[in-house]
Amino acid sequence: MKVGLLTGGGDCPGLNAVIRAVVRRVSDAGGECVGVLEGWRGLVRGGFRPLAAAEVEPLIGQGGTLLGSSRTNPYKNPDVDVPSLRRHFQEAGLDALVVVGGDDTLGVAARLVNDFQLPIVGVPKTIDNDLMLADFSFGFDTAVNVVVESVERLRTTAESHRRVIVVETMGRNTGWLACFAGMAVGADYVLVPEVPIDVPHLIAALRRLRGASKNHAIVVVAEGARYPDASPALLDVDAFGHPRLGGIGALVADAVERQLRVETRTVVLGHLQRGGAPTAHDRVLATRMGLAAADRVLRGRFGTVLTLRGSRIDDAPLDSSALATRALDLAYYQDAAAFFY
Ligand code: F6P
């Protein structure tokens, strides 16, 4: 059996651990694996590379993805002849394809299953943790820890200069990352897309802190949070039509500086949150996901996507209903807010 492996969308720590686990399980079963290069771009152009078990063995702790990634969406590009993807799949002699991606990449996989019955097994990944498919996605824990480490550094300089530092995190349209990291660092305020920003409350909370002799503050804001009444900016969009987010940190910092009259700085953590080695938690989860995906392939359980409920990995039909996104569970926000409300 010849199994293709593809990683698409924004990369995230743990992708290489999935690759390693799929290759290991498939080769132990007597099969071979082939990497599809740079997400769907590889299937559009016919870009493949062999994947040997010995080569991927050391990858468990490496960030990024050996196969490269892209946000190529064959269904949204009029220059792409979609049936050519099936042709390239067949020409490469593939019997199955494991697709590791978020809602966009898996959405393309679902359409290929539907349109051409391609034998696909999907694996959810995202640092945003915004997929209904998984209670927690690999990559998320690592990203939370990057934010925590960064904020701990920022706190010491904020303290020295008696400043407020506003830290903008990723997370797309959800506040999972900002909320978890904010709670873990004891942020003095956390702003998420799911809760409208209440500027007077934010200012009052920061003022109260200074009154209580804490002379600095950390505010964590998710990139998708909306400033009240801010006119929607003309944002660039990616191949899946998602606006490139960012800039809310500066708006919040400006309001804090003007209204609180305290020197304020903004730090946008950006792609730092996606880089570097996965945490032990993400290595374990990604490895389990890779083994589970390979097991589905070996059993011929195609047209499915893995799910994670609690610590249990299962699968569901790979269709658009499975790929819904998931807002931050507000119970977490309420717990974070116990420290600033
Ligand atoms: O979905 C993952 C994510 O990292 C989001 O948090 C962020 O908005 C987006 O990708 C950034 O995408 P790009 O790498 O294309 O700038």
How does pLDDT run across 192-208, given as a tens digit for each residue?
999 999 999 999 999 99
- Asked whether residue 29 carries a pLDDT value surpassing 90, the answer given is yes
What's the confidence (pLDDT) of residue 213? 81
What's the confidence (pLDDT) of residue 240? 82
**How far does the chain reach from its first CA to its final CA, in angstroms?**
57
Q: Supply the residue whose CA is at minimum distance from atom 2 of ligand 1.
A: 10
CA of 132 to the centre of ligand 1 (A): 18
Q: Which atom of ligand 1 is nearest to the CA of 223?
A: 8
Testing ligand 1's pocket by substitution, the residue of 72, 104, 127 carrying the most ligand atoms inside 8 A of its CB is 127
Residues 206 and 188 sit within 8 Å (Cβ to Cβ): yes
- Torsion, Cα 154 157 160 166, to 10 degrees, reads -50
Q: Which residues make beta-bridge pairs with 165? A: 218, 265
Q: Which atom of ligand 1 is nearest to the CA of 177?
A: 6
Q: How confident is the model at residue 241 (pLDDT cuts 50, 70, 90)?
A: confident
Q: What is the mean pLDDT of the chain?
A: 96
Testing ligand 1's pocket by substitution, the residue of 192, 268, 274, 328 carrying the most ligand atoms inside 8 A of its CB is 274
Mean of the pLDDT values across residues 71-79?
Answer: 95
CA of 328 to the centre of ligand 1 (A): 17
CA of 170 to the centre of ligand 1 (A): 7
Kind of pairing between the strands at 120-124 and 96-101: parallel
Residues 140 and 102 sit within 8 Å (Cβ to Cβ): no
Q: How confident is the model at residue 61 (pLDDT cuts 50, 70, 90)?
A: very high
What's the confidence (pLDDT) of residue 239? 82
Q: How confident is the model at residue 262 (pLDDT cuts 50, 70, 90)?
A: very high
Q: Which helix (H) or strand (E) holds 48?
A: strand 48-51
pLDDT digits 0-9 by tens, 275-304: 999 999 999 999 999 999 999 999 999 999
CB burial of 284-311 (b: ≥16 within 10 Å; e: otherwise) equals bbbbbbbbbbbbbbbeeebbbbbbbeee
CA of 110 to the centre of ligand 1 (A): 21
- Asked whether residue 59 carries a pLDDT value surpassing 80, the answer given is yes
Q: Which atom of ligand 1 is nearest to the CA of 245?
A: 8
What's the confidence (pLDDT) of residue 230? 74
Ligand 1, pocket residues at CB < 6 Å: 10, 71, 102, 126-128, 170-172, 223, 238, 245, 274
Crossing angle for the helix pair 176-185 and 140-161, to the nearest 10 degrees: 50
Q: Which atom of ligand 1 is nearest to the CA of 246?
A: 8
Closest CA to 275 of 135, 109, 130, 65: 65
Q: Which atom of ligand 1 is nearest to the CA of 127?
A: 2
Q: How confident is the model at residue 243 (pLDDT cuts 50, 70, 90)?
A: confident
CA of 240 to the centre of ligand 1 (A): 12
Cβ neighbours around 320 below 10 Å, total: 12
Cβ neighbours around 108 below 10 Å, total: 26
What's the confidence (pLDDT) of residue 234? 60
CA of 10 to the centre of ligand 1 (A): 6
Q: Supply the residue whose CA is at minimum distance from atom 14 of ligand 1.
A: 10
Cβ neighbours around 121 below 10 Å, total: 29
The rounded distance, in Å, linking the Cα atoms of 96 and 297 is 7
Kindly state the DSSP code that residue 95 receives in the 8-state scheme.
Answer: S
What's the confidence (pLDDT) of residue 238? 84
Burial of residue 67 (number of CB atoms within 10 Å: 0-12, 13-18, 19+) = buried
Q: Which residues make beta-bridge pairs with 51? A: 33
pLDDT digits 0-9 by tens, 131-187: 999 999 999 999 999 999 999 999 999 999 999 999 999 999 999 999 999 999 999
Q: Which residues are catalytic, by number?
A: 128
> What is each CA distance from 7 to 68, 159, 198, 254, 321, in whole angstroms?
7, 41, 39, 39, 21
Q: Is 101 helix (H, G, I), strand (E, B) or coil?
A: strand
Q: Supply the residue whose CA is at minimum distance from atom 15 of ligand 1.
A: 10
- Asked whether residue 211 carries a pLDDT value surpassing 90, the answer given is no
